[in-house]
Structure 1
Amino acid sequence: MNKKIIALAVAAAAFGTQASAVELYNNDGSTFSIGGHVSVSALGNSDVGGTDIIANSPRINFTATQDLGHGFTADARGEWALNYLDGGENTFTTRLGYIGVTHDDFGRAVVGTQWSPYYDVAGITDMPIAFANDFLYDNHGALGTGRAESMVSYRNDIQLGDNLSIFGGLGWQDDATAGFDSRGQVAIGANFADFMVGYSYNAGDRTDGVVGTKEATSHALSAKYGSYGNGLYVAAVYTMNEYMNGVSNYNTGANNGVVLDDSNAMEFIAAYAFSNSLNLSINYEAVESNDKSVVDGTVYSQMAFQAEYNITPTFVTFAGYQLDLGSDLYKQENDMWNVGVRYYL
């Protein structure tokens, strides 16, 4: 298994704009570190009106590793979202919580709430801080399209040469979430030089938001070039879905319980990071419905222009403007902007 992939899997989240942690303990094969980030930004709606101060997905995490010998390493992570702007009772909510075991040759197995193998393939465009990949996060915990709840997974990455490797992953979720049966997924792909191509399949029954019991399935295809934040980065994801994408209230973002029986979702991003750490990007996202009972056409389509700049390795400023490119379901357009700062722990 690719040792670089192992290190990323143990020490950081699967994907993201940046990962950092402070190691507090390292002795006799055991480590303990704390990481995460906090953000504050102003989010405005150019057409609907109004400006809100938001937190942009802040989190804190604790990670421990233990050398088990014979090439095996165990790791455990707990990660919680922080509610530090509104206060109230839910100061912390769970994002991740898992135990994993990794071996250079035998791969990696993980049990708990974790980033899924499906996300390994579909999440390669989910990079900018301000705007990216809304469709992945529609009931993602239960559907396993992002952070998957109650999942058992296995991954491996096999080197076939200096610049070529193949990777694969399997995932299974139990039926603990109301309205969702147990689910399974598989991911496969290849890395060659700076390129990656991947495919993932995700399936399981649901009764939430549908009439009777329906099998919710998704095929995801993706490809990328480069590494986000290091020169040129280009990536694209295309998904073919049945009973996976919901229809949300356009103004509030709240899901109104409608699930599309047939839809396609796509995201494309092109970014370039200069040597001074300024990273400029443009991304396009759309969800197309083939469900004539709801809408036969575009649910939403949008394009964002974004910039991120590292003042220091752990203190980042960002800004983005997202254009609403129209919808066959919603008549009112809603351009948005987001400007803020993020501090990595």
Structure 2
Amino acid sequence: MKIKLLAAAIAATACGTQAFAAEVYNSEGSTLSIGGYVDVGVGEYGDDDDIQVNQVSPRLNVGGTQDIGNGVVVDAKGEWQLNYLNGGGTSFTTRLGYIGATHETGGRLAVGTQWAPYYDVAGVADLPIAFANDFLYENQAITGSGRGDKMVTYRNSFNVAKDSSVSLGLGWQGENTGVADSRMQIALSVDIIGIALGYTYSGGDIGTVDATSHVLSLAYGNYGNGVYVATVYGMNENFYDGLEESIQMESLFAYGLGNGVNLSLNYEAVLDDKNDLTQFSQSALQAEYTVTPNLVTFAGYQFDLGDDYGTEEDDKWIIGARYFL
């Protein structure tokens, strides 16, 4: 796969939602871009039980590339979460920071805090703006289930037929003193005429236990353009929220109407498999409307479907807008 196609494939699977960046410099093989977005919404959202103004996941990023010849392009990115609704305090917290190198046939190597290969497979349903795949972000920095801290990754894609390709991802994290030993992960996906089948594994010790996860995923279509269907099923040991054995699942059905409107329905649950108890289950109806390429409005209502611990059900909702920088 050529450099541009490989880079596009990586970006598409690693951003979680729509990606946008403005190129501000391009000369003699070097580029510099600035991107991110600001979003606000009104509703009962996150941990809040009162109606108020919320932010969803605003961010600012700076990226650059350098063509060093022989088919190799080096890139770097820094990304920070913006915390702007509360006066004072910390304005920025780190989301990403890495350096990578991509070869047109040799694949891509990246080092730093980055989206993990595990997420390439497990994140196929993590696409709506307001309510999406919560369980992926449980202790993600250490497990590498979303963004992984201090991670080395390798990715490559291979065309095996006219409408078919195979993608491979490998990840490694070194020892996190007092928290986790070194961890590794592998991700493998096959795309056949628009149907993507994926498998990923993450393993290594956290504390005194071996924390492992096996995830299968299936996806079809392009989110925001016609029918998009995705489902994720994970089987874990000591991986999620201190549970010895757990099952996690997420399913998403979305339909883009072709006029900028995208409607979606998702379902998510995490189960304590050893004790056969539901940790949480929820479903959300959502709508997103692309006003311009830089401005998307959204609305969502999430139904709390309950658990097996007698926790009072707590539905959430939000209406808002996201502006891409």
Q: What's the TM-score bracket when you normalise by the shorter of the two chains?
A: over 0.9
Distance 1:150 1:32, change over 3 A: same
CA distance in 2, matches of 1:63, 1:50: 38
Matches for 1:240-279 after TM superposition, within 5 Å: 240-246=235-241, 259-279=242-262
Q: Is the 8 A contact 1:17 1:229 kept in 2?
A: no
Instruction: Give the aligned partner of residue 232 of structure 1.
Output: 227
- Contact kept, 8 Å, 2:286 with 2:301, in 1: the verdict is yes
Task: Output the CA distance in 1 between the equivalents of 2:143 and 2:261.
Answer: 35
| Separation in 2, partners of 1:178, 1:2 | 42
Q: Please list every run of 5 or more consecutive structure 1 residues that lacks an aligned counterpart in the other structure.
A: 208-212, 247-258
What's the TM-score, normalizing by structure 1? Answer: 0.90
State the distance in 2 between where 1:195 and 1:4 align.
22
Looking at structure 1, the residues matched to 211 and 129 of structure 2 have their Cα atoms a distance apart, in angstroms, of 29
- Give the secondary structure class of the aligned counterpart of 2:124: helix
Q: Give TM-score, length-normalised by structure 2.
A: 0.96
Say which SS state the counterpart of residue 6 (structure 1) adopts. Answer: helix
Which position in structure 2 is the counterpart of 1:331?
A: 311
Q: Tell me by how many angstroms 1:195 deviates.
A: 0.9
Does residue 1:222 correspond to 2:217, yes or no?
Answer: yes
**Two-structure CA RMSD over aligned residues (Å):** 1.7
Q: Identity of paired residues, percent?
A: 53
The alpha-carbon deviation at position 177 of structure 1 amounts to 5.8
CA deviation after TM superposition for structure 1 residue 2, in Å: 5.3
Whole-Å Cα distance in 1 between the matches of residues 90 and 177 of structure 2? 20
Distance 1:175 1:118 in 2: 18
Map residues 112-127 of structure 1 onto 2, 5 A cutoff: 112-127=112-127
Deviations 1:303-338 (A, max 9, x none): 100000011111010000011111002431111111
- Distance (Å, rounded) in 2 between the aligned partners of 1:282 and 1:5: 30
**Aligned partners of 1:276 and 1:2: how far apart in 2?**
32
Q: Report the alpha carbon displacement of residue 297 of structure 1 after superposing the two structures with TM.
A: 1.4
**Does the alignment pair 1:186 with 2:181?**
no
Alignment partner of 1:124: what SS?
A: coil
| Alignment correspondent of 2:59 | 59
What's the secondary structure of 1:24's corresponding residue?
A: strand
Contact 2:6 2:156 in 1 (8 A): no
Contact 1:15 1:124 in 2 (8 A): no
Amino acid at match of 2:98: Y
Give me the whole-angstrom Cα distance separating, in 1, the residues matched to 2:105 and 2:49. 55
Distance, in Å, in 1 between the alignment partners of 2:269 and 2:44 is: 21
| Structure 1 residue 181 displacement after superposition | 1.6
- Tell me, what secondary structure is at the counterpart of 1:181? coil
- Structure 1 stretches of 4+ with a deviation exceeding 3 A read 2-5, 9-13
CA distance in structure 2 between the aligned counterparts of 1:315 and 1:288, rounded to whole angstroms = 37
Deviations 1:208-263 (A, max 9, x none): xxxxx0001000100100111111100000000111111xxxxxxxxxxxx10000
Q: Secondary structure at the match of 1:153?
A: strand
